[in-house]
Amino acid sequence: MKVLVLGADGYLGWPTCMYLSARGHEIVGIDNYFRRNVLKELDSEPLAPVPDLHQRASLWEEHSGKKIHVHIDDITDYDFLLGVFRDFVPDAVVHYAEQPSAPYSMLNHDAAAFTVRNNLIGTLNITYAVREVNPACHIVKLGTMGEYGTPNIDIEEGWLEIEHKGRKDKFLFPRQASSLYHTTKIQDTDLLWFYVRTWGLRVTDLMQGPVYGVSTDESAADPRLVPIFNYDEIFGTVVNRFVVQAVAGYPLTVYGKGGQTRGYLNLRDTLQCVGLALESPSGKGELRVFNQVTETFSVNDLAERVQRVGRELGHNVEIREIENPRVEKEDHYYNPAYTGLLDLGLEPHYMTDDVVRELIQFVEGYKDRINRDAIFRGVKWR
């Protein structure tokens, strides 16, 4: 398959490029280095040094004999994106190229406006380029479980059948996000659903939970192939952040009561899920939704696990409850369905103590690069 990976330099994008390339797909990757550049502005360098995308593509070619073609440019520039679509004519596009941080989107007006423009115009441009060049192209778009929020009912896989005054219909499951970033992901879904209905596009929306981990089969060949890994409050996801805090001897920062429960998944499972979605595309005029998580934990569960394993490895790991800078429920019902990807063949990698131990040992290798000032900044929701 010819697969265009948007956001190819990112935490998920680069491992996806290698994973798909290793399986014989022809890959073109695009990234505008937004994430690298904003990390410099925020003085939050990644934990391990990350060669640029051209260098990583060359390294990958040295190790695998396979080419990944890359373009450093912005998908909100429609002429550029359309040009790549015309040259490559992809069978599928994997869309990761967004501003993905909830705290960043809540920083100030400029960051909020950037998040809205970047995420929505990027998604709009993809729909137009697909229609123009290859309407059969399968769009695999990364959504987030955060779109659903934490409703007091079970979360279905994308859709909900509603009976109202004696009549029935099926709708997208109600969404009520708790950050501007998550709100743009809802709007992405709405845009795609509109063009699925109107132009008959094929779309899979992967409602993903927070991802953790760093190693994949493909990065085992060379430490310079590991993905960009952040541990700061703005770009680090919670498990990755806790593990770095444990190694740095910085108390694990639990927001409020720590009862916030979410669905999580290992980086290796993101790759499997995207691969499975690509292998069995959605139909013409279908918006298919999968909840991409493998297990649920509260923040307290995660902190306690990282503390236990960290202490076994000799680290002094404390847990500190701090005032919650976000506006969110700290104690709530949470019961999402997530069987669709299992039915397609997903074999989950669960969060065992061994997995956490391996992650802590990875972080120990870069302990000298940890910037304690970047760990917590206290971006407030109001």
**Is 78 designated active site?**
no
Least gap, CB of 200 to ligand NAD (angstroms):
24
CA separation for the pair 319, 26 (Å, rounded): 46
Q: Which of 123, 183, 185, 212 is catalytic?
A: 185
Helices (DSSP H) in 134-170: which residue ranges? none
Does position 204 interact with ligand NAD (CB under 6 A)? The reply is: no
Determine the interface stretch with ligand NAD among 172-180, 206-214, 317-325, 342-350 (rule: CB under 6 A). 206-214
Report helix angle 78-88 to 109-133, nearest 10: 30
Shortest Cβ 161–ligand NAD spacing (Å): 26
Cβ closest to ligand NAD, residue 90 vs residue 315 = 90
The single-letter code of the amino acid at 364 is E
Q: Which of 115, 127, 144, 253 is catalytic?
A: 144
Q: Which stretch binds ligand NAD (CB under 6 A): 91-99, 104-112, 127-135, 281-289?
A: 91-99
45, 98, 233, 330: which one contacts ligand NAD (CB under 6 A)?
A: 98
AA letter at 254:
V
Q: Are the CB atoms for 212 and 268 separated by under 8 Å?
A: no
Q: How far is CA 50 from the centre of its chain?
A: 18
Question: What is the rounded CA–CA span in Å between residue 299 and residue 296?
Answer: 10
- Least separation in angstroms between residue 42's CB and ligand NAD is 13
Q: Does 288 bind ligand NAD (CB under 6 A)?
A: no
CB of 356 to ligand NAD, least distance (A): 16
CB of 294 to ligand NAD, least distance (A): 13
367 annotated active-site: no
Angle, in degrees to the nearest 10, between helices 13-22 and 267-279 = 50
Which string of x and - marks every residue 45-74 that binds ligand NAD (by CB under 6 A)?
Answer: -----------------------------x
Q: Considering the complex, what minimum distance in angstroms separates the CB of residue 165 from ligand NAD?
A: 36
CA quadruple 166, 170, 171, 173: dihedral sign = positive
Nearest 5°: the CA angle 126, 119, 210 is 110
What is the three-class DSSP state of 163? strand
- What lies within 8 Å, CB to CB, of 7 at 6+ separation is 13, 30, 31, 95, 96, 97, 98
Question: Which is the catalytic residue, given 181, 212, 264, 334?
Answer: 181
Residue whose entry in the numeric block shows the structure tokens 């701090």: 322
CA triple 272-236-314, angle to 5 deg: 95
Amino acid symbol at 249:
G
C-alpha 357/C-alpha 27 separation (Å) is 33
Query: Dihedral of the CA atoms 300, 305, 307, 309 (nearest 10)?
Result: 180
Is the Cβ–Cβ distance between 27 and 20 less than 8 Å?
yes
Which of 34, 104, 231, 290 forms a contact with ligand NAD (CB under 6 A)? Answer: 34
Tokens of 367: 């302990």
Q: Lay out the site mask for ligand NAD across 126-165 (x = CB under 6 A, - = otherwise).
A: ----------------x-x---------------------
Whether 66 is catalytic is: no
- Give dist(CA 128, CA 312) in Å, integer: 53
Residue nearest to ligand NAD (CB): 10
Return the residue of 3, 4, 5, 7 that touches ligand NAD, per CB under 6 A: 7
- For ligand NAD, give the closer residue by CB, 201 or 267: 267
Task: Give whichever of 33 and 255 is closer to ligand NAD, judged by the CB atom.
Answer: 33
Within 10 A of 132 (CB to CB), how many other CB atoms are there? 12
Interacting span for ligand NAD (CB under 6 A) from 43-51, 108-116, 147-155, 208-216: 208-216
Q: How far is the CB of 53 from ligand NAD (least distance, A)?
A: 9
- Please select the residue that binds ligand NAD; options are 3, 5, 10, 258, rule is CB under 6 A: 10
Least distance from C-beta 179 to ligand NAD, angstroms? Answer: 11
Binding site for ligand NAD (CB under 6 A): 7, 9-13, 30-35, 74-76, 96-98, 100, 118, 122, 142, 144, 208, 210-211, 228, 237
Would you please indicate which residues are annotated as catalytic (active-site) residues? 144, 181, 185
